[in-house]
Amino acid sequence: MTTAVATAHSTPSGRWDLIGRSLMGLNSAVTFAVFINGFFLMADASDDRMMVEGWRTFGYLVFSAMWAMLACRPRQVPAIWEMVIFHKVAATVLAFTVLDTTEGMQSSITDTTVASLTIFAYIVCRGWESWRVLQRTDVTDKAL
């Protein structure tokens, strides 16, 4: 029977962990505020833009929740870090391809910021350690 052994290197220092978690909490709180603002944008949207504004608004709630999960349990939610990072980097790249538009300019700033903060927090919180949860669960299931 194989068991998972935690080492001193499997968790970050308390200070860095707090910094990374705080950044994810900040991303979550700001994104939740943007989610609330999305309802005002939806109220002002034309019928042709309603679906896009609604999709965007509801997406803010999803991202706010994912950042909250990362803030609360940064090493216990496999794949969330990577999905958020992928999306924010992809959105940043897209924003830079349409930089001459208002939305492109705004997104290039906001998505670059949240992508950078999320990548930084992934490093200082050791987000890749979340995959070990699956490995430990797999070992436990095999032992049963």
- Domain-located, residue 5: no
pLDDT for the residue 12: 78
pTM of the entire predicted model? 0.82
Angstrom distance (rounded) from CA 19 to CA 27: 12
Separation CA 130–CA 108 (nearest Å): 29
Parent domain of 94: 14-143
* Residue pLDDT tens, the chain, 144 long: 544 444 445 677 899 999 999 999 999 999 999 999 999 999 999 999 999 999 999 999 999 999 999 999 999 999 999 999 999 999 999 999 999 999 999 999 999 999 999 999 999 999 999 898 666 655 555 655
In a domain, 4, yes or no: no
| pLDDT recorded at residue 38 | 96
pLDDT of res. 10 = 63
Count of other CB atoms within 10 angstroms of residue 131 = 13
Token digits of residue 54: 């609604």
* Domain-located, residue 82: yes
Tally of domains within the chain: 1
CB atoms within 10 A of CB 46: 7
Query: 71: which 2 tokens?
Result: 């803030």
Q: For residue 76, tell me if it sits in a domain.
A: yes
Q: What is the pLDDT of residue 4?
A: 47
In a domain, 9, yes or no: no
Within a domain: 1: no
